[in-house]
Structure 1
């Protein structure tokens, strides 16, 4: 009887257990264990990866704090580029690693290391990082210069290289460039009060010449309004150019949200608000012109020849049989802005610095003028056809690019996989900044690197001077897959701007001034002259040579 009772109990227990097991959510438990196991494995792999990276020696740099890395140094030392160069000099290194948030920022001041990255390992370093400033200014990465590698970048690079900045297109747009060169001469001549001479702010003249040229090439407009009677910019053009330079001042700045993305909503450094305001100003002037032209070509289907780059971009089709547009309205607007940004700063910056250096060294100024008088004469104005023979003028421009680059660092590159450079481990996802100032002022490459010596660029065989340098002794237009496709346009604009100012006018220090020379001090926040260059300009050609209003 006891055995029977026990068997009955066991049977009841088995039945209860069977009931429980049949209703228990075993699939959920298995899934939960799988998730937990995955998390544990992921954590272990991360720890192994960190250990692996530690075994691989990163470039030297300041010790990072948890979470924020070295952002406290960037925030507390403005401008960041001066602190970075000072830190690298104190550490006696030409390649450094500064961890900002989770991002490894690699800074390079050595031409050999720069060549290894941009030439030998170009395929690894040819992408761009995703930054708040570049996302905004490219309409969400629709352009060529700042867009990360991928199908969109390939598409836009193909279009810009073959349809916008080709040699054939450069020749096609020559008359528009010369029209703006004539307008530059006319404007400065009017500022001179005829033969009496007048004080000219060179920065303003140079920046608006560049703005006029690129607007004329892109949308066939010098002025959005009436402009000024003397040939200078109206309020609309002043706002347009100022907004372009505002965007350029914040593109790829060291913004907190680029390295701690979850802080972007707070815009602690105010960069996003400034950028969006500047972009709205640009849209206010660009968009109506572009929208009207798109309507004319695609809706009204007007039949006429293209007049500018905007017409060219609108008329591009995916397939000749269907005639479907290749570019959307947003892509056209973004690429037009991209080209405007690329054209306004480098030529104007180099010309202001070159002229300031040359006013302080009258012998250099005289040599440049003698070359112009020999090649061009004094009975006509400079033409683009004269440029191949103006080697000393180009040497002056190249020397300005070397000694006074437009920005401290080149547009950053992104490493797309782990690699080694100069014996150091560079992790995938690193942001690479090449120092323009350190390359151009490197004492191992340049004799008397801080002295303005244009003759150092003249070739012994008399061959043409070019403004780019594939060996990266200076960084004017970069190199590799991300080299600037607008080298020809940028070189032409720079040389024509400098040659026109030197050929048409004499330049001296305005009197009375506290000093007999121009101060060559750099601004604290960037690499411009601390004070915009003021020069006393006087016409040096016969009156009939200057284009009249």
Structure 2
């Protein structure tokens, strides 16, 4: 998320908005885009908007916007609200019952996405699935994903690549923990591990192997960790993810596009250009090889699958631009942030509460033991570990809101009118921390997800919190997300003993002011806990 704008930029925005209001001279009887006299069903409650610009001045003066929105809703005591941003009704929701009304009862009406500068840039002009508005292009690309990419047979086909990355991850963390990595400490006694670094790069390694068939864009690293290009890739990818729907002022006042009053357009362009540069050097070469008949090994990864798809007439089904859009926005970006964020928060909470950590390790030893490394086949039996990840999804979501849904027609939600074109935002924070749903909602308590009669799943179809969402625009790769999350957490818990660094009595669990990540990356002391021969050696 964007940090606080400079005072000069804020002043410029406010002066510009006031000037436009005075020049256009709109009457103030327009509230949330509908004249008061014509309203028969009330709009959701919300702050009184200015003419023309709505609540944009307040939003710009109260960055980050998501904290301001939640604060206003809390003060108003409402689970559904209406904020007028330019000419757009933004309707945030913090109640699971209302969320289910939107994504279950009225899913067909809320199946579209907004058109924004960042989403258009990242999706190569809406050629992918996740960010595209409802239409034929979205239908086409969704069919490709569900039938050719995210399906059980493909998941099984790619198992060995995921297993290899789990082994590489264990080796890399071992090297850091024992001080044998060039990035690690000089001795075991003071070897601390940056958990955010290793979790993010594990997710990056896995998804690059599945899509591109390789871990590195550049030279392989002796310790198994990322090189400069991989660090660049992850940093730029997380920047793009943080800005896709981040309340950019020009998204609500399109005639300001290009002025970049809040600085977001430049950041998105630069980060997207970095990702494209790294992806394109692989995709362009692979495309050339397939079209030139130079490929000898056949289909080996998801990029090969996408390039070789044919339509009913035997012609290529996808253009190279569509291949690039799907690889970036639908597969790679989708696999990075949720698992890494959840595991970092879960480990931080559990190190502060050693009883929880001991319980998770006990389950690992009971189910897997210490004579082999945990594998994907163990996931169904690791219920307490999955409960810990669920609790991290609930209490510490990666983003304040789910991706926005756009109303295709006028409708009524929870007794309030939601006009056509409204942006409906399900609050991950509001749902997961709702005190009417969750007892002691700010406490990390994995046991709340344990049930005697059934196993634990990471999905949450009742929208009491959001892990992979639901409905037509929900995540269609929940099985891959579950696998990445559990294997990441499982290898950390099984392979290493985790403790607070020397001189630290308590891990700071405060959130960053600008987003929902930990204020500082989690730094922990790690020691190997398995027989030496189980830690994979250099390859």
Counterpart Cα distance in 2 of 1:512 and 1:222:
36
Residue of structure 2 in register with 1:348 after alignment: 340
Counterpart Cα distance in 2 of 1:487 and 1:512:
40
What do the CA deviations read for 1:65-110 (whole angstroms, capped 9, x no partner)? 1111000111011111111001001011110000011111001111
Pick aligned residue for 1:543 from 528, 532, 537: 532
What do the CA deviations read for 1:16-50 (whole angstroms, capped 9, x no partner)? xxxxxxxxxxxxxxxxxxxxxxxxxxxxxxxx973
Q: CA deviation at 1:238?
A: 0.3
Residue of structure 2 in register with 1:91 after alignment: 76
Pick aligned residue for 2:405 from 413, 423, 430: 413
Could you tell me whether the CA contact under 8 Å between 1:60 and 1:95 is conserved in 2?
Answer: yes
TM-score of the superposition, structure 2-length normalised? Answer: 0.91
Q: CA deviation at 1:152?
A: 0.3
Residue of structure 2 in register with 1:477 after alignment: 468
Counterpart Cα distance in 2 of 1:492 and 1:126:
27
What do the CA deviations read for 1:470-524 (whole angstroms, capped 9, x no partner)? 11111111111111011010111011101100000000000023xx111110110
Q: Does 1:401 align with 2:393?
A: yes
CA shift in 2, pair 1:480/1:53, >3 Å: farther
Counterpart Cα distance in 1 of 2:278 and 2:229:
8
Q: Secondary structure at the match of 2:258?
A: helix
Residue of structure 2 in register with 1:231 after alignment: 224
Q: Size of the alignment, in residue pairs?
A: 497
Mapping of 1:100-499 within 5 angstroms? 100-193=85-178, 196=188, 198-300=191-293, 302=295, 304-319=297-312, 322-338=313-329, 339-461=331-453, 463-499=454-490
Q: CA deviation at 1:300?
A: 2.0
Residue of structure 2 in register with 1:63 after alignment: 48
TM-score of the superposition, structure 1-length normalised? Answer: 0.89
Counterpart Cα distance in 2 of 1:180 and 1:302:
25
Counterpart Cα distance in 2 of 1:543 and 1:288:
39
Counterpart Cα distance in 2 of 1:506 and 1:68:
54
Q: Secondary structure at the match of 1:95?
A: coil
What do the CA deviations read for 1:112-131 (whole angstroms, capped 9, x no partner)? 11100010000101111111
Counterpart Cα distance in 2 of 1:239 and 1:154:
33
Residue of structure 2 in register with 1:41 after alignment: none
Residue of structure 1 in register with 2:6 after alignment: none
Counterpart Cα distance in 2 of 1:211 and 1:304:
24
Q: Secondary structure at the match of 1:372?
A: helix
Gaps of at least 5 residues in structure 2 are 1-32, 180-186
Could you tell me whether the CA contact under 8 Å between 1:227 and 1:235 is conserved in 2?
Answer: no
Could you tell me whether the CA contact under 8 Å between 1:353 and 1:404 is conserved in 2?
Answer: yes
Q: CA deviation at 1:299?
A: 2.3
More helix by proportion, 1 or 2? 1
Counterpart Cα distance in 2 of 1:277 and 1:332:
21
Q: CA deviation at 1:315?
A: 0.6
Counterpart Cα distance in 2 of 1:495 and 1:111:
26
Q: CA deviation at 1:52?
A: 6.1
What do the CA deviations read for 1:151-202 (whole angstroms, capped 9, x no partner)? 0000011111111111111111111111111111000100112693520000
Q: Secondary structure at the match of 2:84?
A: strand
Could you tell me whether the CA contact under 8 Å between 1:394 and 1:495 is conserved in 2?
Answer: yes
Could you tell me whether the CA contact under 8 Å between 1:375 and 1:389 is conserved in 2?
Answer: yes
Mapping of 1:9-88 within 5 angstroms? 50=35, 53-88=38-73
Counterpart Cα distance in 2 of 1:131 and 1:501:
38
Q: CA deviation at 1:292?
A: 1.1
Deviates more, 1:445-454 or 1:344-353: 445-454
What do the CA deviations read for 1:385-435 (whole angstroms, capped 9, x no partner)? 010100000000000000001111000000000000111000000001110
Gaps of at least 5 residues in structure 1 are 1-47
What do the CA deviations read for 1:436-456 (whole angstroms, capped 9, x no partner)? 011111111111111111011
Counterpart Cα distance in 2 of 1:226 and 1:310:
20
Q: CA deviation at 1:296?
A: 1.3
Could you tell me whether the CA contact under 8 Å between 1:59 and 1:425 is conserved in 2?
Answer: yes
Q: Secondary structure at the match of 1:366?
A: helix
What do the CA deviations read for 1:322-378 (whole angstroms, capped 9, x no partner)? 421000000000110011111100000000000000001111100110111111110
Could you tell me whether the CA contact under 8 Å between 1:61 and 1:96 is conserved in 2?
Answer: yes
RMSD of aligned Cα (Å): 1.3
For the pair shown, which has the larger CA radius of gyration, 1 or 2? Answer: 1
Could you tell me whether the CA contact under 8 Å between 1:398 and 1:467 is conserved in 2?
Answer: yes
Displacement over 3 Å in runs of 4+: 48-53, 301-304
Residue of structure 2 in register with 1:504 after alignment: 495
